[in-house]
Amino acid sequence: MVVHVDPEARGDERGALLAFLDAERGGVRRALLGVGEEAAATRPTAGELSLSGLLKHVRLTEQGWLAQAMGAAPQPAEGETYADHEHGFALVGEETVAAELAAWAEVARRTEEFVRAAETLDATFPLPDAPWFPVGQRVSLRWLLLRLITETARHAGHADIIRETLDGAVAYELVARERGQKWGG
């Protein structure tokens, strides 16, 4: 797991934005280091969020935005509402953290491939038909990357809080532990 500390060193705007997005994905992944399925599903704060639920949500969010940008956004089923998407914050049935991480890695690969293949980050696509978006507005691929960075960073912060509540571990300590190093005093 690599945290990109100097994304501009890659030499281009796409590389920088993709590196920032990947660094924020790393925040969510790090929060899951060493956590079993049961602990990942617990909701230790006053809210309804769990580590595995956040993982699923960020994967679904990135997957949905990628589909929208590619012009293949899934259409809701007959009678389905946005409230029906709340199940996106919990693993259900046979879903596992490992499977979600693998699925997210594939979504991330497809996101990078799509962005790198685009002629320009100024290319646009329509916003989804949702009550919180203006009707008929289009946004750029640059907007998409900034949206994904913002969304993923917000939930990486949530994941930090949940992980620290579970066992006192913090992100830098988890990275050090993963590398076999000691963190702090």
Segment (H or E) for 65:
helix 51-69
Band of pLDDT at residue 130, cut at 50, 70 and 90: confident
Q: Are 41 and 181 in contact (CB under 8 A)?
A: no
Query: Among candidates 53, 80, 76, 87, which has minimal Cα distance to 128?
Result: 76
Is residue 77 over pLDDT 70? no
Q: Which fold would CATH assign to domain 7-73+105-178?
A: Four Helix Bundle (Hemerythrin (Met), subunit A) (1.20.120)
Is residue 3 over pLDDT 50? no
More confident residue, 64 or 181: 64
Q: Phi-psi bin for 68: left (phi > 0), alpha (psi -120 to 50), beta?
A: alpha
Amino acid 1: pLDDT: 39
Is residue 183 over pLDDT 90? no
Is residue 134 over pLDDT 60? yes
SS3 125: strand
What are the pLDDT digits (tens) for 143-157? Answer: 999 999 999 999 999
Mean pLDDT, residues 111-136 taken together: 94
Buried b / exposed e over 52-82, threshold 16 CB at 10 Å, is: bbbbbbbbbbbbbbbebbeeebeeeeeeeee
Band of pLDDT at residue 88, cut at 50, 70 and 90: confident
**Judging by beta carbons within 10 Å of its beta carbon (0-12, 13-18, 19+), is residue 28 exposed, middle or buried?**
buried
Which residue has 């699925």 as its token pair? 103
Half-sphere CA count of 46, side-chain side, radius 13 A = 0
What rounded mean pLDDT belongs to the chain? 87
Taking the domains of the chain in order of start, what are their residue ranges? 7-73+105-178
Tell me the C-alpha distance between 11 and 142, whole Å. 16
What are the pLDDT digits (tens) for 8-49? Answer: 555 689 999 999 999 999 999 999 999 999 999 999 999 899
Q: At what angle do helices 13-31 and 171-178 cross, to 10 degrees?
A: 90
Tell me the C-alpha distance between 73 and 96, whole Å. 25
Question: For the chain, where are the E strands, in sequence order?
Answer: 124-126, 138-140
Q: What are phi and psi of 55, to 5 degrees?
A: -55, -50
Is residue 118 over pLDDT 60? yes
Tell me the C-alpha distance between 51 and 154, whole Å. 13
